[in-house]
Chains A and B, each alone.
Chain A
Amino acid sequence: GAVVSQHPSRVICKSGTSVKIECRSLDFQATTMFWYRQFPKQSLMLMATSNEGSKATYEQGVEKDKFLINHASLTLSTLTVTSAHPEDSSFYICSARGRVGVFEQYFGPGTRLTVT
């Protein structure tokens, strides 16, 4: 149980284009989903928190117009990197939490974004 998928696993795009990453909870309903960014050999950096049906809450320093998050249903959240630039290249990971009051998060396998 508690499986989270991400798609795509890898994506290469040209500078100036937009990329959408999907995060799905496969066997549970996710009340909250989180989006992280991770640089090589470093810990996770939280970008934003999304609750189904409401606007995402972004961490300080994260541009909400650049990283668009939509939590359309209890099993799907999407992150769209708009007008991507090489500095947006990174490993993006989503996670999902099933129940209010429970702090364990279940992580997707990550998406490696490379902007050329």
Chain B
Amino acid sequence: TQLLEQSPQFLSIQEGENLTVYCNSSSVFSSLQWYRQEPGEGPVLLVTVVTGGEVKKLKRLTFQFGDARKDSSLHITAAQPGDTGLYLCAGPAGGTSYGKLTFGQGTILTVHP
């Protein structure tokens, strides 16, 4: 099973600040996904990165896939209280996994007004 290490686990910041969440592995992934989950709800897919070195932007969120496809990062510019939630990175679990995903431990982001 391929593991994903996510950091930091907890992030508490003020509105307007920037932040970066990291997702690292010793294994190569064919793709990585980022999800955001709000309390009491299911995760929502934000983005999938596929190509090494790829950068994708979603409004104030910037996602990057490492050149070697072993790591990814999520950068949020000028965070807002609405960005508060659990952020999860995930990638194919590998082997004959029937499409299973392996998830990072998650980053709980709290943005204070």
A interface list, Cβ under 8 A from B: 4, 6, 31-32, 34, 41-44, 46, 49, 51, 57, 91, 93, 95, 97, 100, 102-110, 112
When distances are taken between beta carbons in the complex, the residues of chain A under 8 Å from B106 are: 41-43
Instruction: Tell me the B66-112 residues at the A interface (CB within 8 Å).
Output: 86, 88, 90-92, 98-101, 103-106, 108
Q: Are B92 and A103 neighbours in the complex by a CB distance under 8 Å?
A: yes
Q: How far is the CA of A31 from the CA of B35 in the complex (A)?
A: 21
Q: How far is the CA of A46 from the CA of B37 in the complex (A)?
A: 16
Task: Write the chain A residue with the least CB distance to B29.
Answer: A103
When distances are taken between beta carbons in the complex, the residues of chain B under 8 Å from A49 are: 98-100
When distances are taken between beta carbons in the complex, the residues of chain A under 8 Å from B92 are: 103
Query: What are 21 inter-chain pairs, A to B, with CB distance below 8 A?
Result: A32-B98, A34-B100, A41-B106, A43-B106, A44-B103, A49-B98, A97-B99, A100-B99, A103-B91, A103-B92, A103-B99, A104-B33, A104-B45, A105-B45, A105-B90, A105-B99, A106-B45, A107-B42, A107-B45, A108-B42, A109-B41
Q: Are B103 and A102 neighbours in the complex by a CB distance under 8 Å?
A: no
Given that A32-B98, A57-B98, A107-B43 are known contacts, is A43 also in contact with B105, CB under 8 Å in the complex?
Answer: yes
Q: How far is the CA of A95 from the CA of B37 in the complex (A)?
A: 13
Q: How far is the CA of A32 from the CA of B93 in the complex (A)?
A: 15
Given that A41-B108, A43-B88, A43-B106 are known contacts, is A105 also in contact with B98, CB under 8 Å in the complex?
Answer: no
B interface list, Cβ under 8 A from A: 30-31, 33, 35, 40-45, 48, 86, 88, 90-92, 98-101, 103-106, 108
Q: How far is the CA of A46 from the CA of B35 in the complex (A)?
A: 16
Q: How far is the CA of A107 from the CA of B104 in the complex (A)?
A: 16
Which residue of A31, A100, A103, A105 has the most chain B CB atoms within 10 A of its CB atom?
Answer: A103
Task: Write the chain B residue with the least CB distance to A6.
Answer: B42
Task: Say which residue of A42, A46, A93 sits within 8 Å of B100 (CB atoms).
Answer: A46
Q: How far is the CB of B5 from chain A (nearest CB, A)?
A: 12
Q: Are A110 and B42 neighbours in the complex by a CB distance under 8 Å?
A: yes
Given that A110-B40, A110-B42 are known contacts, is A103 also in contact with B98, CB under 8 Å in the complex?
Answer: no
Q: Are A107 and B48 neighbours in the complex by a CB distance under 8 Å?
A: no
